[in-house]
Chains A and B, each alone.
Chain A
Amino acid sequence: MKKLLAILMALTLVVCLCACSSDSSTDNGGGTAKADFKVGVITIGDDTEGYTKAHKDGIRAAAKTLGLADSQIIWKENILENAGCSDAADELAAMGCKVIFSNSYGHQTYIAEVAKKYSDVTFVSMTGDFAAISGISNFKNAFTSVYQSRYISGVVAGLKLKELTEKGTLTKETQPGSFDKNGNIKVGYVGAFPFAEVVSGYTAFYLGIKSVCENVAMQVTYTQSWFDVEKEGAAAEALIADGCVIIGQHADSTGAPAATEAANKKGTIAYSVGYNVSMLEVAPNAALTSATNNWSVYYTYAIKAVMDGKAVDTNWAKGYAEDAVSITELGTACAEGTAAAVEAAVKGLKDGTVKVFDTSKFTVSTEQAGVTVDADKHVTSCKVDLSYYDYSTGSPVVVYQGDTVETIADGAFEESVHRSAPYFAIRIDGITENEIK
């Protein structure tokens, strides 16, 4: 009996294997009628996780705008960055999806492999960084210019600092720990990883504060995780204990705002600037605002382009000009006149009179690869290599060769112009990175 079973099992395996030898290419060609149009979506989490929810909301809004029914969108949730991602992409393409999105950075290597197999399907790896140099024509990347909304959220924080000092609430007497030895007000930032994406974000935030309140110094603490309530909370607590008055964040949980709220309630002068979602629920007294993305702008554009049979941008990055980024509702703690100042700053970004990474607004004193500065320590040139590397074997190995480009033009660093994913990684004066524990 058991031997028979064994033979049967072995046979089944063999038969299954042989049966699958036929190739799985699609035979659909040309335009698709609107009712048959299908969109595939691969997400790292689900609606219970803020980052994915923001993407899903964007897709749902896009579908509504474009008149797509629920059944025309096929979701693949909780897909990790492993073979499960290839499975999901392959399945969605085989089910007839004409455009397939994945929302996590680490999905891209898997998506790129599947994209090679289905040349008539458009694959978009959100936040990915090698579509343009991969040579796969139906593989795309997109990112918002979120540094712009971080800059604006910095303006909100700067106005608060200005109000606190002008009203005499925050002085060297009331909260002495909040000033460094040069008399700068201390600001803190909870970042996930020391990557360009985070560096670009906190530098924009810092420059936003500085545009309103000149004498600030910022410390950044990395949590080495995109989502860790406890670590982010602990990092915020440590920063507040050191005297930081504003706690910004580039990590996905509510840990930092919650910790700031707790300190605020105890009477410490501390305020929070969040990310992705409004933090007013967890920090009604301490939250000023949050920098956020309006993903629906991109999703509407990309889905419509595919429906119309047009090509999707290989590197899409839009900011305030297209309403792709914004800040959330202003908290009651915000300084008077914040709304008007924000409006003015946003207008400046839109018409180009305000540039986030204006080289006259910051200095660089440390030696950094590819960065050249003048006598006043203002950056005059910054060369960025856009190649995609494999770092694993000790020395970086090029996977996809990209150009090395000059990123300084018209007196400003051009972020998200040469590639949608951020590449600003200059460490500027006034910001210190706390050592990783």
Chain B
Amino acid sequence: MSNSTRIGREPLIRISKKDVAPWWQKAVVRVVALIAALVIDAIFIYLFTKMNPLDVFSTMFKGTFVFDYGTTFFINKLLRTLRDMATLLCIAIALAPAFKMKFWNIGAEGQVLMGGLATACVMQYFGDSLHTPALFMLMLTASIVAGAVWGFLPAFFNAKWKTNETLFTLMMNYIAIDAVACMTNIWRGDKSAMGTINQATQAGWFPNIFNQRFTLNLFIVAALMIIVFVYLRYSKQGYEISVVGESENTAKYAGINVKKVVIRTMIISGAICGICGFMTVAGKDQAISTATAGGYGFTAIIVAWMAKFNTFYMAIISFLIVFLEHGASEIANTYGGLNDYAASVITAVILFCLIGSEFFLNYSIKLRKGSKKEA
């Protein structure tokens, strides 16, 4: 081998793990990443559409913040962003314990759908017979159980027979999607679309609080954010999760029942996803479809990872992602030349740069000293 002569020589580029970066460094790297993303986007926009990138960016901003139509409009638009952020955040919160345990739960989409489906079933079949408080309790319980079961199954098989949890949870999504498709086909009857559930009676719909049906969603997620934060950070179970995540052997050595922790954590993860399904069906859509989770089950994985399982950071990142998403559809609606796909490219570049910048926070790159001499 010719490179045997190079043994002992330093490589041209050396990558080494860094200590935790100070906050100002983190801020600088992220701002630079954002600027870089915007520049790349600007080039992309100009090259492909010949439009003024600044106009496009300001349109994107209007996906969430609109000042042109008065305060009510501004608040409503912002609230819709917060509502979608709450949905995304709720799933990310649900994923956090599982991912922290290094259990790759790719099945949030399905767990949310099952929670939603359970809620929808209760609304359909008990909407007329139960009183409102009992109905809501049953909806909530059913959704938690449904989500928890969808989380429990892959965990149980993993703990018992070492099945691959990534594939297992992923496949459970398709079962959930088809279960929802099947039920909506039945419920639809002679119509070509199902419409809202209990349209006439509004049974099981969240109450209108401050003029919005989804107000409760925001409170539920805010509460979950705090509870899961405390659970992961200060509880014994939260500690067990992080030990199992760091090293299963260490956990075993420390006397932690790994199987029990895995199953328990996935039940919690699935249950929170179930709650998300509950509030999406009862609070947001008042309907169910295979698009109820809207792909957020997968997007939430990015959120959970980017935030390093800190639920408060998750809130910020969820907001950013939903802001970008709403901005993208605003762009697509405003400009004929930039359809949904082009708008998605713009947001993808931003996410790519932000996630990519993490690399520079975790690792430092050193060039070989004196490399010039060799040139």
* Chain B nearest CB, measured from A252 CB (Å): 13
Q: Interface code B321-356, partner A: CB below 8 Å = 1, 0 otherwise?
A: 000000001001110100110000000000000000
* Chain B nearest CB, measured from A427 CB (Å): 14
Within 8 A of A (CB), among B88-139: 124-125, 127-128
Contact (Cβ within 8 A) B189 A81: no
Contact (Cβ within 8 A) B315 A104: no
Q: Residue of A at shortest CB range from B181?
A: A224
Contact (Cβ within 8 A) A22 B72: yes
| In the complex, chain A residues whose CB is within 8 Å of the CB of B212 | 20
Flag whether B247 is at the interface (Cβ < 8 A).
no
Q: Interface code A195-228, partner B: CB below 8 Å = 1, 0 otherwise?
A: 1110000000000000000000000000010000
Q: Interface code A89-127, partner B: CB below 8 Å = 1, 0 otherwise?
A: 011001110000000111011100100000000000000
Interface size on B, as a range, is 35 or more
Contact (Cβ within 8 A) B188 A391: yes
| In the complex, chain B residues whose CB is within 8 Å of the CB of A13 | 82, 218-219, 222
Contact (Cβ within 8 A) B80 A95: no
Contact (Cβ within 8 A) B189 A94: no
User: Chain A binding site: helix, strand, loop or mixed by DSSP?
Assistant: mixed
| In the complex, chain A residues whose CB is within 8 Å of the CB of B289 | 80-82
* Chain A nearest CB, measured from B64 CB (Å): 12
Whether A393 contacts B124 in the complex (CB less than 8 A), given A13-B222, A20-B212, A110-B196, comes out as: yes
Contact (Cβ within 8 A) B200 A76: no
Contact (Cβ within 8 A) B72 A20: yes
Within 8 A of A (CB), among B188-240: 188-200, 209-212, 214-215, 218-219, 222, 225-226, 229
> Which of A4-12, A169-177, A282-290 lies at the binding interface?
A4-12
Report the Cα distance A214→B188, complex, angstroms. Answer: 37
Flag whether A16 is at the interface (Cβ < 8 A).
yes
Contact (Cβ within 8 A) A109 B285: no
Contact (Cβ within 8 A) B189 A391: yes
Q: Interface code B66-91, partner A: CB below 8 Å = 1, 0 otherwise?
A: 00010111011111101000000000
Flag whether A363 is at the interface (Cβ < 8 A).
no
Flag whether A389 is at the interface (Cβ < 8 A).
yes
Q: Residue of B at shortest CB range from A80?
A: B291
Which of these, B77, B199, B219, contacts A399 with CB under 8 Å? B199
Within 8 A of A (CB), among B135-167: none
Contact (Cβ within 8 A) B72 A94: yes
Flag whether A17 is at the interface (Cβ < 8 A).
yes
Of the candidates B332, B333, B336, the one having the most CB atoms from chain A within 10 angstroms of its own CB is: B333
Contact (Cβ within 8 A) B193 A81: yes
Contact (Cβ within 8 A) B222 A22: no
Contact (Cβ within 8 A) A195 B191: yes
Flag whether A396 is at the interface (Cβ < 8 A).
yes
Which of these, A2, A19, A78, contacts B332 with CB under 8 Å? A78
Whether A6 contacts B211 in the complex (CB less than 8 A), given A195-B192, A392-B189, A392-B194, comes out as: no
Interface size on A, as a range, is 35 or more
Flag whether B312 is at the interface (Cβ < 8 A).
yes
Report the Cα distance A68→B80, complex, angstroms. Answer: 30
Within 8 A of B (CB), among A9-58: 9-10, 13, 16-24, 46-48
* Chain B nearest CB, measured from A149 CB (Å): 20
Flag whether B292 is at the interface (Cβ < 8 A).
yes
* Chain A nearest CB, measured from B193 CB (Å): 3
Flag whether A87 is at the interface (Cβ < 8 A).
yes
Whether A24 contacts B73 in the complex (CB less than 8 A), given A46-B332, A391-B189, comes out as: yes
* Chain B nearest CB, measured from A25 CB (Å): 9
* Chain A nearest CB, measured from B120 CB (Å): 9
Q: Residue of A at shortest CB range from B189?
A: A391
Report the Cα distance A399→B219, complex, angstroms. Answer: 32
* Chain B nearest CB, measured from A135 CB (Å): 12
| In the complex, chain B residues whose CB is within 8 Å of the CB of A398 | 200
Flag whether A281 is at the interface (Cβ < 8 A).
no
Whether A105 contacts B312 in the complex (CB less than 8 A), given A24-B72, A78-B329, A390-B199, comes out as: no
* Chain A nearest CB, measured from B367 CB (Å): 36
Q: Residue of A at shortest CB range from B313?
A: A5
| In the complex, chain A residues whose CB is within 8 Å of the CB of B286 | 83
Flag whether A329 is at the interface (Cβ < 8 A).
no
Flag whether B185 is at the interface (Cβ < 8 A).
yes
Report the Cα distance A18→B210, complex, angstroms. Answer: 7
Contact (Cβ within 8 A) B195 A108: yes
* Chain A nearest CB, measured from B176 CB (Å): 17
Contact (Cβ within 8 A) B312 A6: yes
Contact (Cβ within 8 A) A22 B193: no
Report the Cα distance A173→B215, complex, angstroms. Answer: 71
Report the Cα distance A4→B196, complex, angstroms. Answer: 40
Contact (Cβ within 8 A) B222 A95: no
Which of these, B82, B193, B200, B333, contacts A75 with CB under 8 Å? B333
Which residues from chain B sit less than 8 Å from chain A, CB to CB? Answer: 69, 71-73, 75-80, 82, 124-125, 127-128, 185-200, 209-212, 214-215, 218-219, 222, 225-226, 229, 284-287, 289, 291-292, 310, 312, 315, 329, 332-334, 336, 339-340
Besides A19-B75, A390-B199, A392-B189, 9 new A-B residue pairs in contact (Cβ under 8 A), listed by A number = A5-B312, A16-B78, A17-B79, A20-B72, A20-B212, A77-B333, A82-B285, A87-B80, A106-B192
6 nearest A-B residue pairs (beta carbon): A391-B189, A106-B193, A392-B187, A109-B195, A82-B285, A20-B75
Ordered by A's residue number, 28 sampled pairs between the chains whose C-beta atoms are within 8 Å are A6-B225, A6-B229, A10-B222, A16-B75, A17-B215, A18-B210, A19-B75, A20-B76, A24-B76, A24-B211, A77-B339, A78-B329, A81-B289, A82-B284, A82-B291, A83-B285, A91-B77, A94-B69, A106-B194, A108-B195, A109-B196, A193-B192, A196-B190, A197-B192, A389-B190, A390-B189, A390-B199, A391-B190
Which residues from chain A sit less than 8 Å from chain B, CB to CB? Answer: 2, 5-6, 9-10, 13, 16-24, 46-48, 74-78, 80-83, 87, 90-91, 94-96, 104-106, 108-110, 113, 192-193, 195-197, 224, 389-393, 396-399
